Chain A
Amino acid sequence: MSHSTDLRSLTLAGIVRRCTHETERFFQRRSYDPWFCFELFRRAILERDSHAWERVYAQYHALVTGWVVRHQAFPASGEEAQFFVNRAFEKMWAALVPEKFGHFPNLQSLLRYLQMCVHSTILDQVRSANQSILDVRVEDLVTGGGEAGPIAEGSVADRVHRREFWEQIEARLNDEKERRVVYGSFVLGLKPRQLLASYPEAFDDVKEIYRIKENVLARLRRDRELEEILGPDA
């Protein structure tokens, strides 16, 4: 292991040169010194050295591209690998503030975080696509129902954060059973049979779940404040 003070005295170009050499040795399964590459990350993240971060990107973007391509959700994403590669590096740069660097004692831990950023970036896209499906369903139902005019939620929705909206709904629920029905049905997207399977001790049968749902929805539909948020069907 190279002494930390010696590494810090090297130029960025020298660090990059040795990092490249040692990385090549790693992939040849030879003994290698990981501390040059670690120093490159250290300068980038701890010292917020953007030039060092550019070199991190150059050093690892081919490896990260391979990680993107090997993710099970990538083929169906419809995006180019480079899109996720760039987002993964952006995510790591934004998330790894200097205060967090102490969690990373070696190069392996930093590269594992970068792997996690790849997964996280692809998952962001998957979640966004799933949300779009729900949004399209609303549009389809409104259009098919022949409702005139734009959906009222368009302008009001921007003010209400999703979690805050849940808290508003939760505040209108009377007991734990109602909370489980609404949370399970709309936050988790479960059908009543799935809900019963998840909480067999909480409900007698599927009919009870439908009865609770009927009562809650009737209450929410009478709520003027929610009607403004959700639109005319509330």
Chain B
Amino acid sequence: MTCTSPPQLADQELLAHLDGEASPEVEAHLVSCPHCRERAQHLARLQARLAARLYRATCPSPLELGEYHLGILAPAQKLAMDQHLATCLHCSHELEQLEAYVSALAPDIAFSPLERIKVLVARLVRSPEDHSRSGARAPAPAYAGLRGESESLLLYQVDDIQIAVEFQDDAERQGRLALLGLVTGADTSGMEAHLWQPEQHIAAIPVDELGNFYVSNLAPGSYELVLRGPKVEVQIPELEIVGG
């Protein structure tokens, strides 16, 4: 087979055609010349085979790129990577993707001190003995209105937060007690009250919007009370629950 419109097209013109960069004259020649079209196809197959074997042949693996990003490559490897990244837009792009990806996931592995929940330990500021001496009234849990003012009220405080706690006999369970609590001076939305004994979680109760919480069916004994809110946690490490 020979060219129908000699001289035949040069290989560089055929290459431009394959890239969509050929002139209108070249395109017109190819329409009418099977010989030059076949030559173009040969070049296309050659380029495709070279591309299939060579594409990113010198690029490091994604793992190596990742270790480069983390700064744990050996010095010689790092130098080679620096040189490669200076010329390879594909690896540079993948490195940018990695940096953006781990940056987005950073909160999953660390949080700043500003994000950390503030943990406070409350101290006992008023006990039933203090109440009987002074005669002053402390804020009482709302539920206590059912029984009247209690003389078993304990008052804990840390910063501006006060926790009033009192105990009653559990009306439904003989020998068991109920704990009534009131939190003031803190945002109680989303807050839960947790009762612990050594190695054992006893109860988790939501604190209502007014700061009240209630736990029943408790045995007399020593407990830890932890009030967990979205931004603050208040701990009462030693809470002695006695009969009301």
Contacts and interface: CB of A to CB of B under 8 A. Distances in A.
Interface of A: 26, 28-31, 63, 66-67, 70-72, 91, 95, 100, 103, 107-109, 111-113, 115-117, 119-121, 123-124, 127, 130-131, 134-135, 137-138, 141-142, 144-145, 153, 157, 160, 162-163, 165-166, 169, 183, 185-189, 191-193, 198, 206-207, 210-211, 213-214, 217-218, 220-221, 229-231, 233-234
**Mostly helix, strand, loop or mixed at chain B's interface?**
helix
A163 B57 contact: yes
B117 A29 contact: yes
A221 B102 CA distance: 46
A30 B109 contact: no
Q: Is the interface of A mostly helix, strand, loop or mixed?
A: helix
A214 B42 contact: no
Contact of A30 (B53, B62, B117): B117
B58 A119 contact: no
Contact size range, B: 35 or more
B49 interface: yes
Contacts of B63: 91, 95, 116-117, 120
A123 B62 contact: yes
A109 B42 CA distance: 52
A180 B166 CA distance: 83
A162 B54 contact: yes
Nearest to B115: A29
Interface in B43-76: 43-58, 61-63, 65-67, 69-70, 72
Contact of B66 (A29, A116, A229): A116
